Structure 1
Amino acid sequence: MSKLKVFLHIDPYLPESKISNTLMAIAQQFSVVPEPESAEMVIVLGGDGAMLDAIRDHHHQALPFFGINFGHVGFLLNAVPDGGDLGQMVETSEFIEFPLMDIEILLETSEVIRTFAFNEVYTHPYPGHTCCHRVMINGDNLMDEFGETEFRGNGIIYATPGGCTSYNYNARGVYALPDQGQFVLTPVDPIRPNFHRFHSRAICDTTRVTVELLERHRRKQFIIADTQVFENAVSATMVRAEKTVGLKFGRRTHYFEKVIRLFSYNGR
């Protein structure tokens, strides 16, 4: 029986002594190939950040990703105990499709950059500044709901299900699961009195959401899509991408249980 062909994506900051046993098990139970084009699966060693890097580098190969957690929380990865049968775990693992987010960034030069995010898009002010935004939902100004024309605060987060446990969680956002067809829109520290009613909300992921950066001549603010920073951005428009990314977990419920437990623990 031929071995499964895998490509390894390893966090470059992991000490070899920490992963040597796992690398030995992988070499024994799989056929490790030097290029992802020849692989049937990508195995990621690291934390959630390493998984994000692997997805950005290799998502176009349409391969499943199996993560082995050497980080802290590791929502997107599996905990594989020393001495565990890694081959059996991969063979019986279950597949979850995560939606990606298509993004159009309009720059001050009128250039439009098209990219994607697995986690989220968010805005952020420079130190000493606050954000001023217009948030459009399918062409309608969301701020009309609060009797305002623009949002003022420390930013807006628009997160995918894969990203709702990251910055969105720390900003007290709600969550969406990968099979619910929803993304999450969360304000960060709104400062206008009327915004006490502006809470995190899950919305249909086919909704076209645009965040416009206003008063840029006196408010320094920028847009971040996963790890990509756009300092001279005018706006970002987001919608669910046609492509998805498949992650494999030892049990299908493994990921869902971690997410629900995290948010339930904090009363959300």
Structure 2
Amino acid sequence: MDAAPELPRNLRGRIAFHAAATEAAESARDRLTAIHGDATPEEAAVVVALGGDGAMMEAQHRFLGRNLPVYGMNRGSVGFLMNDFREEGLAERLQVAQAALLHPLHMRAVCCGGGEVREALAINEVSLLRETRQAAKIRILVDGRERVPELICDGVLVATPAGSTAYNLSAHGPIVPLGANLLALTPISAFRPRRWRGALLPAAAEVVFEILESGKRPVAAVADYTEVRDVRRVEVREDRSLRLTMLFDPDHGLSERIIAEQFTV
């Protein structure tokens, strides 16, 4: 991991808190803001997200473009990207935290019909999903070269390292260590080619999905919270102009958790 951005020595009034909409997360936020205050985005030097991995993603979206580091504490269920929750010593933990840097995905979707173009950013993944009972048929190109002429499936996704432990993992995609500079390309319930399990791609790769028989087999594209219906072409690439920073305790053991998860049976 990289060194964390240098934070002010006095963080009183410089921490912005973001809590998931659960009793446990909101109660923790109330107690912590009573101690540390709750900064506005303009005043904040760091963000503390309370909840599960979804709270981490929500916080990153909320503060996207401000280049504020986000430190998560687990008040949810899984919390793969979260640190252990403790109320005491928060300021000291933030000062010694280590940083993991990543970039969001940029989705450019071209719709059927009039060819309307919709764009969105994704911190976890961009996924394509069939809209009806009929399987989708999708052609996949990577950096302009055809790699899969026809994927018959329920869908397919491109995940960032941060998103590799979310939908990508449930679709049997690989867990990608933070900082690995890779993207996961993972099919969802692939029927043909039956043995294709996806690929790991360089982070700089551009992935293009072309929807075959889009009138008969409509497909939706989803970038985190943004859904675009009836697409005919979707382009996905990393947006290097935006940087996201996640903070972890030095003893968090994220690397060990990533390795152990891959041996879970």
Give the number of aligned pairs: 254
Give 1:114's aligned residue.
119
Deviations 1:50-72 (A, max 9, x none): 22122112111110001121111
Match of 1:10 in 2: 19
Partner of 1:94: 98
Whether the 8 Å contact between 2:52 and 2:77 is mirrored in structure 1 is: yes
Give the equivalent residue in structure 1 for 2:250. 251
**Distance in 1 (alpha carbons) for counterparts of 2:224 and 2:71:** 20
Cα RMSD (Å): 2.0
User: Do the aligned residues in 1 keep the contact of 2:218 with 2:230 (CA within 8 Å)?
Assistant: no
Residues in 2 aligned to 1:126 and 1:208: alpha-carbon distance in whole angstroms: 24
CA 1:21 to 1:60, structure 2 compared with 1: closer, same or farther past 3 Å?
closer
Residue ranges of structure 1 left out of the alignment (5+ in a row): 144-148
Equivalences for residues 107-256 of structure 1 within 5 A: 107-108=111-112, 109-143=114-148, 149-192=149-192, 195-242=193-240, 243-251=242-250, 254-256=253-255
TM-score, normalised via structure 1 length: 0.87
Q: Which runs of 4+ in 1 moved over 4 A?
A: none
Q: Distance in 2 between matches of 1:21 and 1:209?
A: 41
Kept in 2, the 8 Å contact 1:95–1:252? The answer is: no
Q: Kindly tell me: are residues 25 and 227 of structure 1, through their superposed partners in 2, closer, same or farther at Cα, counting changes over 3 Å? A: closer
Separation (CA, whole Å) in 2 of partners of 1:39 and 1:171: 37
* 8 A contact 2:11–2:91 mirrored in 1: no
Q: Which structure 2 residue ranges, 5 or more long, are not aligned?
A: 1-8
1:21–1:219 distance in 2 versus 1, CA, 3 Å: closer
Q: TM-score, normalised by structure 2?
A: 0.88
Distance 2:158 2:174 in 1: 11
Alpha-carbon distance in structure 1 between the residues aligned to 2:141 and 2:73 = 39
CA contact 2:56–2:81 (8 Å) conserved in 1: yes
Deviation at 1:91, TM superposition (A): 2.0
Rounded to whole Å, the distance in 1 between the matches of 2:131 and 2:143 is 28
Structure 1 residues 46 and 21: alpha-carbon distance in aligned structure 2, compared to 1, 3 A threshold = closer
Q: Secondary structure at the match of 2:176?
A: coil
> What percent identity do the matched residue pairs reach?
24
Distance in 1 between residues matched to 2:202 and 2:26, nearest whole Å? 40
Aligned residue for 1:207, secondary structure, equals: coil
Q: Kindly indicate whether the alpha-carbon contact (under 8 Å) linking 2:161 and 2:178 is maintained by their aligned counterparts in 1.
A: yes
Q: How much does 1:19 deviate? A: 4.5
Instruction: Show the counterpart of 1:104.
Output: 108
